[in-house]
């Protein structure tokens, strides 16, 4: 028999984690766990995820109708329910707003692959769902194209949603891995450029993924490109690398003036006196 109180405790614990990580400001985010084929536990609306108590958790059916709990359920549980309907094996869903991953969606930048081994093994390609107003059925349906071939997705101009066949804590893991990865990408781009892992080495990582029992990567099943968004973080290039013309000297500072001995001491003294006179006149 399912211990619902324990599941509620697990939801509260993950709520504290996402709040402490800065993934959910104020009352942002929502968490759910499947109880059985007909019922789901979820977080309430307008309650900080950092201060949840088991008594705050709501119960809904697979249509979203609330059937238990003293607080009103989150409107975004409809997004969770779409995942549960498509994936009967999924046990938990976590939605929140991790800053670095969300920044990629706000910038319209697809999250690149072929950079970090851990991301290739545990996450793979991270899709971005189109934008819809949160809480509505159209918003819930944006995730449908990706539920069968990913563990986490970015919601355009909104946040992320992750799901797991194991536990709510595991769905939180995917969120934490993704945001740490996006932070590394941003830092690397600030330093210079993002260096890629070669495709043969990525293939080795996908072999490891299969040996770890994490499934076959969808890129292999679809014969898709292993590396996406290869333009991200190429860094600065020299004029010779990009074929750009070398900037010429400014007409105000011809090269010959910079040569030692090109200007006489008398000319230097005249220019200094003229500049000094102009400054004094401006002060007066």
Q: Residues 192-215: pLDDT tens digits? A: 999 999 999 999 999 999 999 999
- Higher-pLDDT residue of 126 and 257 is 126
Distance CA 175, CA 78 (A): 20
The reply to whether 269 belongs to the active site is no
* Residue 256 reports pLDDT greater than 90: no
Q: Looking at residue 187, what DSSP letter applies? A: H
CB 33 within 8 A of CB 62: no
H or E element that contains 241: helix 239-242
Among 224, 205, 218, 61, CA closest to 153: 218
Distance CA 167, CA 155 (A): 22
Question: Percent of the chain scored above 90 by pLDDT?
Answer: 77
Is the pTM of the predicted complex or chain greater than 0.85?
A: no
State the catalytic residue, choosing from 4, 10, 13, 76.
76
pLDDT band (50, 70, 90) for residue 268: low
- The model's pLDDT over 119-151, given as tens digits with 9 standing for 90+, comes to 999 999 999 999 999 988 999 999 999 999 999
pLDDT of residue 119: 97
Taking residue 119's Cβ as centre, other Cβ atoms within 10 Å add up to 23
* pLDDT bucket at 282, cuts 50 / 70 / 90: low
CB 48 within 8 A of CB 19: yes
Looking at residue 284, its pLDDT comes to: 55
At 253 the pLDDT is 44
| Residue owning tokens 């046990």 | 91
**What backbone torsions phi and psi does residue 95 show, to the nearest 5 degrees?**
-120, 130
Give the tokens for residue 108.
Answer: 């319209």
Q: What is the predicted pLDDT for the residue at 261? A: 55
Q: pLDDT value at position 136?
A: 86
- Residue 233 — left, alpha, or beta (φ > 0 → left; ψ -120 to 50 → alpha)? left
Number of separate helices (H) and strands (E) present in the chain: 10, 8
Answer yes or no: is pLDDT of 83 > 70: yes
30: left (phi over 0), alpha (psi -120 to 50) or beta: beta
Look at residue 156 and tell me whether its pLDDT is greater than 70: yes
CB 219 within 8 A of CB 209: no
pLDDT of residue 49: 98
């Amino acid at each position: 028999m399912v211990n619902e109180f324990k599941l509620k405790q697990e939801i509260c614990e993950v709520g504290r984690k996402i709040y402490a990580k800065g993934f959910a400001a104020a009352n942002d985010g929502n968490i759910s766990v499947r109880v059985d084929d007909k019922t789901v536990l979820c977080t309430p609306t307008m309650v900080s995820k950092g201060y949840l108590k088991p008594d705050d958790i709501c119960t809904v059916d697979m249509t979203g109708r609330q059937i238990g709990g003293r607080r009103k359920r989150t409107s975004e549980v409809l997004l969770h329910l779409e995942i549960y309907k498509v994936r009967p094996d999924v046990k938990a869903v976590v939605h929140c707003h991790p800053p670095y991953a969300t920044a990629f969606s706000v910038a319209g930048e697809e999250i690149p692959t072929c950079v970090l081994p851990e991301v290739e093994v545990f996450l793979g390609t991270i899709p971005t769902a189109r934008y819809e107003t949160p809480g509505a059925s159209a918003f819930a349906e944006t995730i449908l194209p990706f539920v069968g071939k990913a563990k986490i997705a970015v919601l355009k101009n909104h946040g992320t949603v992750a799901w797991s066949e194991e536990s709510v804590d595991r769905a939180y893991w995917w969120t934490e891995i993704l945001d740490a990865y996006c932070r590394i990408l941003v830092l690397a781009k600030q330093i210079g450029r993002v260096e890629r892992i070669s495709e043969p080495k990525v293939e080795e990582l996908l072999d490891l993924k299969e040996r770890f029992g994490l499934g076959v990567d969808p890129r292999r099943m679809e014969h898709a490109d292993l590396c996406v968004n290869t333009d991200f973080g190429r860094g600065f290039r020299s004029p010779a690398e990009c074929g750009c013309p070398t900037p010429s000297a400014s007409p105000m500072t011809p090269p010959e003036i910079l040569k030692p001995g090109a200007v006489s001491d008398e000319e230097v003294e005249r220019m200094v006196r003229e500049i000094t006179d102009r400054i004094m006149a401006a002060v007066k």
